[in-house]
Amino acid sequence: MRIKFLNIFIILTFLTLLFGVMNLQILHGRRYLRLSDKNCIRLLPQGGARGDILDRKGKLIVGSRISYDVMVVSKDAVNFDATLLKVASITGIKTSDLIRTFKSNFVSSFSPTLLAGNIGVEKAIALGELKNSFPELLVYPNPVRYYPNGNLASHVTGYLSEIDRWRLTKLEDYGYNTKDIVGFGGVEERYDYYLRQEEGGISFEVDHKGKFMRMLGFKSPRNGRNVQLTIDSEIQKIVEDKLGNRKGCVIIMDPYSGEIVAMSSSPNFNPSYFIKKENSYLRNVFNDSDAPMINRAISGQYPAASIFKIIVAAVALETSKINSGTSFVCTGKTRIGNREFKCWNTHGNQDVISGLANSCDVFFYRTGLLTGAQAIHDYAVKLGLSKPTGIDLPYEEAGFVPDPIWKKISQLKSWFDGDTANLAIGQGDLMTTPIQMTKVMCFFANKGYLVNPYVVKSVDGIDISATHKKNIKIQLKKSTMDIINKGLREVVTLPSGTGNVLDSLTLPVSGKTGTAQVSGKQPHGWFVGYFPSNKPRLVICVFLENGSAGYYSCLVAKQIIQEMSEKGLI
């Protein structure tokens, strides 16, 4: 009996559904089709502005300004070719480019589709006057990125472009969609979630003539949040001017807070060309063998050269392998095993202070052998090498500090004294980044604290600097710190000191030079130091890629410090 009732129930349900389908498709199908043809839903997107990027004093580095987009509702175009020709004649854009833009943005024939973006106000007015003849054309105001300072700090700020597949896969769960404009590199990428605007718009119904029928909904756009940097745009401009066309980078950092006051990498790029989609410029900048898209300050990896001697001196003093009275005689060379290791000069009797001041290789070959490679490796890692500093910018590299275990595992070879000698003068397989060596110099400038560098001070007016600050105290003997800092000062004050060119500044400077040998090319030049020496306020790192000796980095540092001093920025 139950099965019989169940069968009857199923048959009745099926007949009811069948009647419903016949009612919709056959009895009233034409009527619903007519209604469908006469009515459709339109979408008018309305975008907010991306958040501004400001310097530490509130000056605008990257902002937004109103531009205009030309949209077309293709369903309403009587003659689409004529529409294209008209838009081309006013905007000066080729019809082939208009078609390409239209096809890449097309969603449906009744939705406004982009024909041309970022046109000027005069062209927008001219197109707006065509409303009666070409009702399918719409002109919308649209905030676009604006770079009042051109290339300034472009590696810190980054640039904008359409989201790629890799990023979309990672971010679609956070509300990102195809064709979203997102940040690439720098703060634009790292803080994209805060900077990005939320698009709004109006959805409404129109009849078959395109006449407005009723509004279906409205969502207000939301502007992105402003981000304030630690960068001082005035100092940044000085740094970029003095670095000029040289390949390399300059970093200026507060040794107590970790704030990056200036960071420049050269060559750089102009982010406005990414907004304009200037294809020839973009091809050149990505194919340039000098790699202008790489931020050398955090992504470039180089031998630290003689800058590394600071670390070797510190660990040798801390482990009592040497003391302030330990000395070695530099005759311009020394024999280690069956190989002769040369110094860049003949220095005579050298202790740790004069060894640092004169950057004597022989002193550090001998000191390195006394200390041992493993101890040097361990202390270098303790001071932050061989791992990213954690700066709030993407694509930071880790560098590398070799040790005997690594060589045994990776190369199946034993570690020799010659390897230790090379490591002791910052050569061999050692690789560091300029931001790492800046952090090391901060440690000696602030007398014992490792600070994390960062570039964003606040988001939407809320100070977030506390989230970056994780200062770590590393206990050193007072005598070690005093000896190292005395050596760094004599680099500048000693007439034979490798940084003596800086002694003519009215502001006392301490630091260390480095000249990293590069096979088949000019060496890299380093200067990393702090000023004023008696009460350090800032640390400076000047790195010149294939820029010859560290002397030339000192010259750039001198020009920067001198102009900062003259303008009262220190």
pLDDT digits (tens, 9 = 90+) for 368-380: 999 999 999 999 9
- The helix/strand/coil state of 313 is helix
What would the mean pLDDT of 228-233 be, rounded to a whole number? Answer: 98
H helices of 267-403, where? 272-276, 279-287, 296-299, 309-318, 352-358, 361-371, 373-382
Q: Which two tokens stand for residue 330?
A: 């530099």
Model confidence at 401, in pLDDT bands (50, 70, 90)?
very high
Backbone angles phi, psi at 202, to 5 degrees: -115, 135
CA 107 to chain centre: 34
Check the CA dihedral 118-137-102-105 and report its sign.
positive
- pLDDT recorded at residue 205: 72
Average pLDDT of the chain is 91
- Contact between residue 113 and residue 71 where contact means Cβ atoms under 8 Å apart: yes
**pLDDT tier at 5, thresholds 50, 70, 90:** low
| Distance between CA atoms of residues 216 and 236, nearest Å | 50
| Contact (Cβ atoms closer than 8 angstroms) between residue 394 and residue 186 | yes
Cβ 561 vs Cβ 509: under 8 Å? yes
Name the pLDDT band for 22 (thresholds 50, 70, 90). low
Look up residue 491 and give its amino acid: V
Min mean pLDDT across 6-10, 314-318, 346-350 is at 6-10
**pLDDT per residue as tens digits for the range 141-152:** 888 899 999 999
Predicted pLDDT of residue 445: 98
Task: Quote the strand ranges of 147-275, DSSP E.
Answer: 159-162, 181-184, 200-206, 212-219, 227-229, 248-253, 260-266
How far is Cα 61 from Cα 149, in angstroms, rounded to an integer? 7
* Res. 207: pLDDT tops 70: no
Which of 58-67, 193-202, 317-326 has the least mean pLDDT? 193-202
What is the 3-state secondary structure of 420-452? HHHHHCCCCCCEECHHHHHHHHHHHHCCCEECC
Least confident of 218-227, 344-353, 547-556: 218-227
pLDDT grade, residue 29 (50/70/90)?
low
CA distance 483 to 131: 79
> What sections of 383-498 are H helices per DSSP?
404-411, 417-424, 434-445, 465-468, 478-493
Residue 275 pLDDT greater than 90, yes or no: no
Structure tokens at 528: 């990393």
Question: Is the predicted pLDDT of residue 73 greater than 90, yes or no?
Answer: no
Split at pLDDT 50, 70, 90, the class of 414 is: very high
364, burial (CB in 10 Å: exposed 0-12, middle 13-18, buried 19+): buried
Q: What pLDDT is attached to residue 485?
A: 98
Taking residues 333-343, report their average pLDDT: 95
| 105-115: b (≥16 Cβ within 10 Å) or e | eeeeebbbbbb
Task: Count the alpha carbons within 13 Å of 449 in the hemisphere toward its beta carbon.
Answer: 12
The pLDDT value given to residue 172: 87
438-484: per-residue pLDDT in tens? Answer: 999 999 999 999 999 999 999 999 999 988 877 899 999 999 999 99
**More confident site: 21 or 287:** 287
Helix (H, G, I), strand (E, B) or coil at 551: helix
Kindly report the backbone phi and psi dihedral angles of residue 123, in degrees, each rounded to the nearest multiple of 5, phi listed first.
-70, -35
pLDDT of residue 476: 94
Contact 556, 544 (CB under 8 A): yes
- 14 pLDDT higher than 80: no
The pLDDT of 101-126, averaged and rounded, is: 81
* Rounded mean pLDDT, 201-205: 70
Window from 95-104, 228-237, 517-526, 540-549 with minimum mean pLDDT: 95-104
Helix (H, G, I), strand (E, B) or coil at 342: strand
Where residue 346 falls among pLDDT bands split at 50, 70, 90? very high
Q: What angle do CA 392, 396, 401 make, to 5 degrees?
A: 130
DSSP structural state of residue 163: P
Identify the helix (H) or strand (E) that includes residue 193: helix 192-195
86-108 pLDDT tens trace: 899 999 898 988 898 888 888 66
Q: Does the pLDDT value for residue 11 go beyond 90?
A: no
Three-class secondary structure of residue 169 per DSSP: helix
pLDDT band at 44 (very low <50, low <70, confident <90, very high): low
pLDDT in the model for residue 31:
58
CA pair distance 498, 511, nearest whole angstrom? 10
